[in-house]
Amino acid sequence: MSHAPHPRVVADEIIRAIANSSSRENGSTPLRRTVGNDSKDYSKLKKGLSDRDFHELLKKNLLK
């Protein structure tokens, strides 16, 4: 987690998501958002891996 984005960056994204959801007429907002390069990379990897393989990758890379 040493490469995690600063909490202010995450808070700004949350505020942006709330503002965008209240301005949309149909109310459809993505359930998840990526913040920071690592989360974007992991999101792409998750699409191509089984849950088991993805969780192993996370444990190996994030729980050092």
- pLDDT of residue 51 exceeding 90, the answer is yes
Find out whether 5 and 35 touch, Cβ atoms under 8 Å: yes
- Give the 3-state secondary structure of 3-29: CCCCHHHHHHHHHHHHHHHHHCCCCCC
pTM for this one?
A: 0.59
Residue ranges per structural domain of the chain: 7-62
Residue with tokens 């109310």: 27
pLDDT confidence bin for 9, thresholds 50/70/90: very high
